[in-house]
């Protein structure tokens, strides 16, 4: 610390060096920052390893995630069809008719790769039906079903799979059957059965999550639909689909980011204006944080081509952390004789707190999620830039007069009996906090991606309607990393199964019973050949081929399970690494394991309290607000370091120090709660959830930081006293 004081002394008599150097640095940082490009893809917060990328491609191919659905709603089928025709004139590339040819082509591919669809349950069922009586019943049922009106499209399924190795409730045939119960074809147009709602489809060439180009496409389609509605006022038209949601997310994120940052700065200025009557002090605080922000933007511009806008939305919380550094300097200046004395007394807790906080954020860099890495870099550089400004520049800008600060009301426990009660109160609080998660048994993580996407109520209703289309299609899609191994295993299982069965005998029974049921000779020849000849392995090297193998509804639970696993791993990693970094450095900086543990325990206890409060409130972590862990360790260690430093100083010198530290902590906490509270006003679910969870988190951190260190210090004194007696 003496080295930094010598730098202060050297610059005090050479201020021209400081100002010229600062001007050069600011111009350079501003130039770099101007190159920054923002993105609004919520998927940046998802793990993006090769396994996920390939799985996402499969999901996109199988669920038509790149497709925009244009919904036409009117009084009757003829009116709706007329509106669809007018829309097609504006957009010739739109798909307005049901493509049964494509459907049948898909069925051909499915049944030519039949073994890849079978699981162990199918083989158990197969064991039960490989006898003349069961085959006879199946074929008679097939014959009766084909004679029913409207079932002609299933003729292909019956001829390709007469034994129903894949039940009709699975795969594309099941998807078609499920669709028939809700949708119908009216003169080739796809419509609901009541004829009041019709559909057209437009494929986005930009993918399902690219927001900028999709926003332009959605704007163009909206303009076209407005024109159609002007010509046909009785028809309402709306857009649906992942590209539409991506565009809506982009707009919402931009709007909320501007709102959050504007309100954060405004409310911080108002609170600082109350606490610091001298307006120049407020300006100094804003300059310190502004320099850190500029430095962070420059770092992102150098390291990334594009940066998630949500990172800047979270910037409101980072401002609340960074403002601590100039705040502690200015508040402490009220109680010292000179700026140099102020710097000398707060340098140690400031730097120790900064290093542990920066270390916690740097722990985000190895994660797979792009946005989390960007946030880790942005936060770390911003805090480093702010502390550098506070140490090197701010002392030379501070007034030689003592800072005027309005003290905040801070309740003090001065009675010895009350202090004793506050010490033992810790036991039931901790026991309750630990018990709540086990009592509630609520899942800690929410991996449902739809919960962090912004959608209007109408969009959610429309999505729910389309879910009905695929309710009967339950065949799961295997994720890319395990798909090839799983599919290879299924082929081996097929060949192994028929090695222990007389396939020729089964074929003879099938032919005999087919003739008895009235089927033409050779109706099932392709199926019979598949049973009697070794099945050749399909080419599984291409993602699109794999996607074609699973044409039914994508099982989002599989993808969500993968995300939840990655989320849990990231969460555990963040918690363990942050804990290790903070604990080790606290012990080293205090040169005492005991004092290091005293400073660390409030953060650990606050985390237990956070989980308990979230369980009670029914709030879950998601892929965005999981970064709360870094804020807990990032902000909590600053508070506890100052508290422990104050307690040690008072014990060694007998002079009052803890009160002024508590004042700066309380003011900092209010600023933090203000900056986080604004996020609750955001309408985007991801940003709103972040505000809600961090509000609970930081409230717990402040409470534990102010309460626990004195309690733990008293307990250690009691223990040491009894040990010496």
Report pLDDT for 615.
79
Query: Coil, strand, or helix at residue 374?
Result: helix
Backbone angles phi, psi at 184, to 5 degrees: -140, 165
- Tell me: pLDDT of 86 over 90: yes
Question: How confident is the model over 203-208, as a mean pLDDT?
Answer: 75
Summarised one tens digit per residue, pLDDT across range 632-674 is 666 777 788 888 888 888 888 877 777 777 777 787 778 777 7
Q: Cα(223)–Cα(239) distance, rounded to whole angstroms?
A: 11
Q: What is the largest CA-CA distance in the chain?
A: 109
Question: How confident is the model over 236-245, as a mean pLDDT?
Answer: 86
Choose the weakest-confidence range: 33-37, 115-119, 184-188, 546-550.
546-550
- Tell me: pLDDT of 55 over 60: no
Report pLDDT for 316.
62
- Tell me: pLDDT of 443 over 70: no
The domain spans of the chain are 2-42+247-403+416-451+556-724, 64-246+454-549
How many Cβ atoms sit within 10 Å of the Cβ of residue 127? 10
With b for 16 or more beta-carbon neighbours within 10 A and e for fewer, the 17-53 pattern comes to: ebeeeeeebeeebeebbeebebbbbbbbbbbbeebbe
Of 260 and 380, the structure prediction assigns the larger pLDDT to 380
Cβ(381)–Cβ(299) below 8 Å: yes
Residue identified by tokens 């508590």 is 662
Q: How many CA atoms lie within 13 A of 400 on its CB side?
A: 1
Report pLDDT for 461.
80
Give the H or E element holding residue 202.
Answer: strand 197-203
Give the H or E element holding residue 67.
Answer: strand 67-73
Name the token pair of 275.
Answer: 């606490």
Report pLDDT for 394.
92
Cβ(578)–Cβ(630) below 8 Å: yes
- Tell me: pLDDT of 83 over 70: yes
Q: How many CA atoms lie within 13 A of 634 on its CB side?
A: 31
Cβ(261)–Cβ(481) below 8 Å: no
Report pLDDT for 666.
80
pLDDT band, very low/low/confident/very high, at 295 (cuts 50, 70, 90): very high
How many Cβ atoms sit within 10 Å of the Cβ of residue 194? 9
Report pLDDT for 328.
81
Q: How are the residues of the chain apportioned to helix, strand and coil, as percentages rounded to the nearest 5? A: 70, 5, 25
- Tell me: pLDDT of 376 over 60: yes
Q: What percent of the chain has pLDDT over 90?
A: 11
Of 500 and 390, the structure prediction assigns the larger pLDDT to 390
Cβ(60)–Cβ(208) below 8 Å: yes
Report pLDDT for 482.
47
Summarised one tens digit per residue, pLDDT across range 511-524 is 888 888 888 888 88
Name the token pair of 621.
Answer: 């972590």
Cβ(204)–Cβ(66) below 8 Å: yes
Choose the weakest-confidence range: 124-128, 160-164, 297-301, 520-524.
160-164
Classify residue 703 as exposed, middle or buried by CB count within 10 Å of its CB (0-12, 13-18, 19+).
middle
Q: Cα(452)–Cα(73) distance, rounded to whole angstroms?
A: 28
Report pLDDT for 621.
78
Report pLDDT for 472.
37
Q: Cα(145)–Cα(132) distance, rounded to whole angstroms?
A: 20
pLDDT band, very low/low/confident/very high, at 171 (cuts 50, 70, 90): very low
End-to-end distance of the chain based on CA atoms, in angstroms? Answer: 38
Of 76 and 658, the structure prediction assigns the larger pLDDT to 76
Q: Cα(211)–Cα(217) distance, rounded to whole angstroms?
A: 10
How many Cβ atoms sit within 10 Å of the Cβ of residue 8? 18
State the DSSP string of 225-252: HHHHHHH-TT-EEEEESHHHHHHHHHHH
pTM: 0.63
Give the residue among 630, 646, 640, 710 at the shortest CA–CA distance from 669.
640
Q: Cα(643)–Cα(227) distance, rounded to whole angstroms?
A: 66
State the DSSP string of 125-141: HHHHH-SHHHHHHHHHH
Report pLDDT for 87.
93
pLDDT band, very low/low/confident/very high, at 473 (cuts 50, 70, 90): very low
- Tell me: pLDDT of 127 over 70: yes
State the DSSP string of 288-325: HHHHHHHHHHHHHHHH-S-EEHHHHHTHHHHHHHHTHH
Report pLDDT for 104.
62
Report pLDDT for 633.
65
Question: How confident is the model over 543-551, as a mean pLDDT?
Answer: 45
- Tell me: pLDDT of 335 over 60: yes
Report pLDDT for 234.
92
Name the token pair of 63.
Answer: 């669920």
Summarised one tens digit per residue, pLDDT across range 397-432 is 887 776 666 666 655 544 444 455 555 666 666 666
Q: How many CA atoms lie within 13 A of 332 on its CB side?
A: 28
Of 541 and 222, the structure prediction assigns the larger pLDDT to 222
How many residues are given for the chain?
725
Report pLDDT for 179.
42
Q: Which residues contact 427 (CB under 8 A, 6 or more apart)?
A: none
Question: How confident is the model over 603-617, as a mean pLDDT?
Answer: 81
Cβ(65)–Cβ(242) below 8 Å: yes
Name the token pair of 455.
Answer: 């959608």
- Tell me: pLDDT of 529 over 70: yes
Name the token pair of 488.
Answer: 């290879």
- Tell me: pLDDT of 95 over 60: yes
Backbone angles phi, psi at 186, to 5 degrees: -115, 105
pLDDT band, very low/low/confident/very high, at 232 (cuts 50, 70, 90): very high
In angstroms, what is the C-alpha Rg of the chain? 33
Average pLDDT, the chain: 75
Cβ(691)–Cβ(676) below 8 Å: yes
Cβ(211)–Cβ(40) below 8 Å: yes
Report pLDDT for 540.
56
Dihedral sign, Cα of residue 171, residue 177, residue 183, residue 184: positive
Q: Cα(579)–Cα(587) distance, rounded to whole angstroms?
A: 12
Report pLDDT for 294.
93
């Amino acid at each position: 610390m003496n080295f930094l004081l010598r730098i202060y002394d050297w610059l005090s008599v050479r201020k021209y060096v400081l100002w010229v150097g600062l001007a050069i640095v600011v111009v350079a940082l501003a130039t770099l920052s101007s190159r920054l490009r923002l993105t609004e893809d919520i998927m940046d917060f998802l793990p993006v390893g090769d396994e996920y990328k390939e799985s996402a491609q499969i999901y996109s191919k199988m669920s038509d995630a790149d497709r925009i659905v244009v919904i036409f709603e009117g009084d009757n089928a003829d009116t709706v069809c007329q509106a669809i025709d007018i829309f097609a004139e504006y957009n010739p590339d739109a798909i307005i008719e049901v493509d049964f040819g494509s459907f049948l082509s898909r069925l051909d591919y499915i049944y030519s790769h039949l073994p890849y669809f079978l699981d162990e349950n199918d083989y158990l069922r197969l064991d039960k039906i490989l006898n003349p009586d069961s085959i006879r019943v199946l074929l008679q049922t097939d014959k009766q079903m084909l004679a029913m009106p409207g079932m002609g499209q299933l003729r292909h399924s019956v001829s390709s799979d007469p034994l129903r190795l894949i039940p009709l409730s699975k795969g594309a045939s099941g998807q078609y059957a499920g669709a028939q119960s809700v949708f119908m074809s009216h003169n080739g147009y796809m419509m609901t059965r009541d004829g009041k709602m019709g559909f057209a489809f437009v494929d986005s060439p930009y993918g399902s999550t690219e927001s900028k180009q999709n926003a332009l496409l959605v704007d163009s389609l909206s303009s076209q639909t407005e024109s159609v509605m002007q010509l046909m006022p009785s028809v309402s038209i709306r857009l649906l689909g992942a590209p539409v949601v991506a565009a809506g997310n982009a707009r919402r994120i931009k709007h909320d980011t501007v709102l959050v940052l504007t309100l954060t700065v405004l409310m911080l200025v108002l609170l600082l204006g109350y606490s610091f009557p001298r307006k120049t002090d407020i300006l100094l605080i804003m300059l310190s944080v502004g320099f850190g922000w500029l430095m962070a933007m420059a770092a992102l511009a150098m390291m990334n081509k594009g940066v998630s806008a949500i990172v800047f939305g979270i910037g409101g919380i980072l401002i609340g952390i960074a403002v601590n550094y100039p705040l502690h300097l200015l508040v402490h200046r009220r109680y010292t004789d000179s700026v140099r004395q102020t710097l000398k007394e707060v340098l140690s807790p400031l730097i120790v707190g900064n290093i542990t906080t920066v270390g916690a954020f740097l722990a985000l860099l190895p994660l797979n999620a792009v946005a989390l890495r960007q946030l880790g870099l942005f936060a770390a550089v911003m805090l480093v830039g702010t502390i550098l400004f506070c140490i090197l520049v701010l002392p030379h800008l501070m007034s030689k007069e003592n800072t005027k600060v309005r003290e905040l009301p801070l309740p003090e426990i001065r009675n010895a009996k009350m202090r004793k009660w506050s010490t033992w109160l810790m036991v039931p609080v901790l026991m309750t906090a630990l018990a709540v998660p086990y009592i509630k048994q609520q899942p800690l993580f929410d991996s449902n991606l739809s919960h962090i996407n912004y959608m209007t109520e109408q969009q959610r209703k429309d999505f729910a309607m389309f879910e009905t289309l695929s309710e009967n299609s339950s065949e799961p899609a295997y994720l890319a990393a395990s798909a090839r191994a799983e599919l290879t295993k299924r082929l081996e299982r097929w060949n192994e199964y028929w090695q222990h069965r007389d396939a020729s005998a089964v074929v003879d029974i099938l032919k005999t019973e087919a003739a008895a049921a009235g089927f033409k000779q050779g109706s099932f020849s392709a199926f019979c050949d598949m049973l009697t000849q070794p099945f050749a392995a399909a080419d599984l090297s291409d993602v699109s081929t794999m996607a074609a193998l699973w044409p039914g509804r994508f099982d989002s639970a599989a993808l969500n399970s993968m995300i939840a696993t990655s989320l849990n791993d990231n969460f555990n990693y963040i918690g363990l690494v942050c804990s290790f970094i903070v604990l080790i450095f606290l012990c080293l900086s205090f040169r005492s394991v005991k004092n290091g543990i005293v400073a660390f325990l409030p953060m650990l206890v606050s985390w237990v309290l956070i989980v308990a409060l979230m369980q009670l409130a029914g709030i879950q972590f998601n892929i965005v607000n999981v970064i709360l862990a870094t804020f807990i360790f990032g902000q909590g260690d600053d508070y506890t370091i100052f508290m422990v430093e104050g307690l040690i100083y008072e014990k060694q010198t007998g002079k009052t120090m803890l009160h002024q530290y508590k004042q700066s902590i309380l003011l900092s906490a209010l600023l933090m709660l203000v900056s986080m509270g604004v996020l609750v006003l955001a309408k985007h679910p991801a940003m709103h959830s972040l505000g809600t969870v961090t509000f609970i988190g930081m409230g717990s951190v402040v409470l534990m930081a102010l309460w626990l260190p004195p309690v733990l210090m008293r307990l250690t004194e009691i223990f040491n006293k009894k040990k010496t007696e």
